[in-house]
Every structure is written in structure tokens, then in C-alpha cells.
Amino acid sequence: MEGKNVQGYLKKLAEEMNGNYTEYSDDTVIITLALEDSRFQSVRGVIQEKGGSLFLILSSTICRLHEYPDVDFRKMLERNYDLGYSKITITDEDYLELAVYTKYDLVNPEELRYMLNEIAVTADKLEHEITGQDHH
């Protein structure tokens, strides 16, 4: 891992993508990207240990499930099939999210750019379809 600076990659990507980069804590950053139709989407980047390895987790909130009880879960699972790196998930806090888990050691700038874009664009599209809003 020596020489890896994922936070630096994310900060640079946020700048290149005309986004806003915020260091939330020592292991968490928030990147807010401007998207089409004057919409925005925030993506959290977290570095977390799991099973003795460090992982980079990128995630973006779509909605709170209790606020939208008619979400078609089968449709969400089917949409996972078409995604490259990210997958639709449900958190312990009742959020429908889009997330990527990848080993920190394996992250490179090109894939990180793709992941960040996929999560922001897809989460925003799903948020708009489900809620009709632009909250996240």
C-alpha cells in the first residue's frame, strides 16, 4: 500500500469532474458531482478494514426505503446485472444505496474515475426514478 493515495486520487478526480471534495474524517471523504439537468449526487469514500485487508468503499444514497415502500426489489436486483463495479444495496439504516467495495491495494486512477462516475450517475438516475427528487 505504500505510495497509494486514494484520497489524493479522489480529490483530483473531483476537481477534474467539476465536483466538490470534502474531507469528512480521517477515513471518509464526500465528493459531490454536478450532473445533467442541474442535478447533483454525493458519493462517500470510506477506507475500512475487512478480513485483515483494507477496502475502499464508494457509496451513494438513493433513498430511505421506509419513505418509498413501493420500491420493486426484483427490479433493483435485475439492474445490478447491468452495472460494472457498483451494486444496489440496502444498509442497516434502511437506505437504498449504490456501492462499490474494492481492495485498497488494487485501486488505480482509471478504474476509480469509472467507479465514481458510475455510482454518481446511476444513483442519481435511480433516485430520480424512485423519488422524483434530487436530495442526495
Half-sphere exposure at residue 5, Cβ-oriented, CA atoms within 13 angstroms: 6
Amino acid (1-letter code) at residue 118: E
- Prediction pTM value: 0.88
Amino acid (1-letter code) at residue 4: K
Which CATH number applies to 6-131? 3.30.1460.10
pLDDT value of position 4: 58
pLDDT lower than 70: segments of the chain: 1-4, 136
DSSP-based helix, strand, coil % in the chain, nearest 5 = 40, 35, 25
Every domain of the chain and the residues it spans: 6-131
pLDDT value of position 73: 94
